[in-house]
Amino acid sequence: MEYSEETFLQHLAPTNPFPFLIPVERAEGIYLYSPDGRRYTDFISGIGVSNVGHRHPKVIDAIKKQLDKHLHVMVYGEYIQSSPNLLAKKLASLLPPSLDCCYLVNSGTEANEGALKLAKRLTGRTELVSFKKSYHGSTHGSMSVSGNEIKKTAFRPLLPDVRFIEFDHIDDLRHITTHTAGVIIETIQGDAGVRVPSQEFMKQLRKKCDETGAMLILDEIQCGMGRTGTLFAFEQFGIVPDILTIGKAFGGGLPIGAFISSHGRMKTLSHDPMLGHITTFGGNPVCCAAALSTLEVLTEGNILEEARRKGQMIESLLVHPLIREVRRAGMMFAIDFDSEERVQHIVKAALDNGVIGFWFLSHPYSFRIAPPLTITDEQIRESCDVILNAIKNS
């Protein structure tokens, strides 16, 4: 075993100057365990990943069964393997008919890269429209359509021809024109601090894309997979995207993403030029087995209905005069305070008492919570007590 901070800090490339540095030996359900026996409640699901909890028994079982058959055998798109086949069929059964074909990739950002390329390929246009304060990933294309200017400066030039408009502003939809290849939007903005658009805005957005022929790309990498109380957040707006992207919780703890559209649209990536998008590990059979069992857990039983109830329960428990505003979609929360410092204080105090919360990169004065959907009422009460105490002492 090797849990030394020195090794971590010296030999693993850092992403920021203040990493959490919690040593994790194992994880089960909603809990992470340190080698010294400390238990932490994961109230952020590893940032939107562990929607069915850590090591869900059905997910583990599916992984083990696939391990005994085969691991990687070929790059994506060549051999017929049961595990990706079953996953693709299941996804198609859960989505509208116009989203019947998935391209399996390795991460959220790669799903968005594929979606942006598909929109350009389908329309023959170059312009991309995105939204201020959005986050779509950290590779060059996804970063180009992400709203956080400070994060982008050091990496320019990025993609040309990207236009940013205001989220949830119907007026701004006029900037979507017949020059627009695709419009990419998080159905519910995550990193911006859980921003839920109006029904009318989403309807007008769909209409504008229909009128101009622009591809509507819904990024549900963070808000999908049951997080907001329905399997996909777009179900709550009565619209269907042309292209859907998913990731994070999709793999139940293993890395997998997908961009999804109709078979007719997807097949354009196979010619003129052929191999329009390729990936070695996309559709990895072990990840697909984990994703299929995750989908089964999310859709069999009442976990989604329960997520809606538990979201309300958390909201009704977390009441305190220092809270400025709560924004919530199902079990995805942003809780606003008066300052970034206060949020940091609350995160630290909660952590000292065994509950992991976080903030948002683009919205640091919000406390972030998104617990596993499998959390029990008792565990919710215990965790909310810890958070309330952290708020009181902040």
Ligand X SMILES: Cc1ncc(COP(=O)(O)O)c(C=O)c1O
Binding site for ligand X (CB under 6 A): 107-109, 112, 135-137, 186, 190-191, 219, 221-222, 247
Decide whether 328 or 380 has the Cβ nearer to ligand X: 328
Listing DSSP states for 134-199 in one string gives: ----SSHHHHHT---HHHHGGG-S--SSEEEE-TT-GGGGGG--TTEEEEEEESSBSTTT-BPPPH
CB 364 → ligand X: shortest distance, Å?
15
Q: For strand 363-369 and strand 358-360, is the pairing parallel, antiparallel, or unpaired?
A: antiparallel
CB of 386 to ligand X, least distance (A): 25
**In this complex, which beta carbon is closest to ligand X, that of residue 186 or of residue 306?**
186
Distance in Å, CB of 321 to ligand X, minimum: 31
Instruction: Report d(CA 367, CA 336) in Å as an integer.
Output: 6
Question: Min. distance of Cβ 112 from ligand X in angstroms?
Answer: 6
Give the total residue count for the chain. 394
Sequence-ordered list of residues with C-beta below 8 angstroms from that of 282, at least 6 positions apart, any chain: 75, 76, 77, 103, 104, 105, 106, 110
- d(Cα 232, Cα 307) in Å, to the nearest integer? 13
- Least distance CB 251 / ligand X (angstroms): 10
Of 145 and 386, which CB lies nearer to ligand X in the complex structure? 145
45/394 with CB nearer ligand X: 45
Take residue 158 and report the two structure tokens written for it.
């990025």
Q: How far is the CB of 22 from ligand X (least distance, A)?
A: 19
Closest CA to 340 of 292, 377, 394: 394
In angstroms, give the least distance from the CB of 377 to ligand X: 28
Q: What Rg do the C-alpha atoms of the chain give, in angstroms?
A: 21
Instruction: Measure the CA–CA gap between 326 and 196, rounded to whole angstroms.
Output: 12
Rounded least distance, CB 185 to ligand X, Å: 10
Token pair 């309300």 is at which residue? 312
Count of CB atoms within 10 A of residue 284's CB?
26
**Which residue in 267, 280, 276 sits closest to 100, CA to CA?**
267
User: Which is nearer to ligand X, 149 or 300 (by Cβ)?
Assistant: 149
Distance (Å, whole) CA 352 – CA 14:
23
Q: Which is nearer to ligand X, 229 or 255 (CB)?
A: 255
CA 362 – CA 42 distance, rounded (Å): 21
The residue among 180 and 362 lying less far from ligand X, judged by its C-beta, is 362
Cβ proximity to ligand X: between 259 and 337 the closer is 259
Q: How far is the CB of 384 from ligand X (least distance, A)?
A: 24
What contacts 247, CB < 8 A, 6 or more positions away?
Answer: 107, 108, 111, 221, 256, 257, 258
| Closer residue to ligand X in complex, CB, 47/317 | 47
First to last CA, the chain: 36
100 closest CA partner among 262, 236, 249? 262
Nearer to ligand X, 112 or 383 (CB): 112
By beta-carbon distance, which residue lies closest to ligand X?
108
Q: From CA 305, how far away is CA 307, in angstroms rounded?
A: 5
Q: Which is nearer to ligand X, 116 or 351 (CB)?
A: 116
CB of 255 to ligand X, least distance (A): 8
| Cβ at position 121, least distance to ligand X in Å | 20
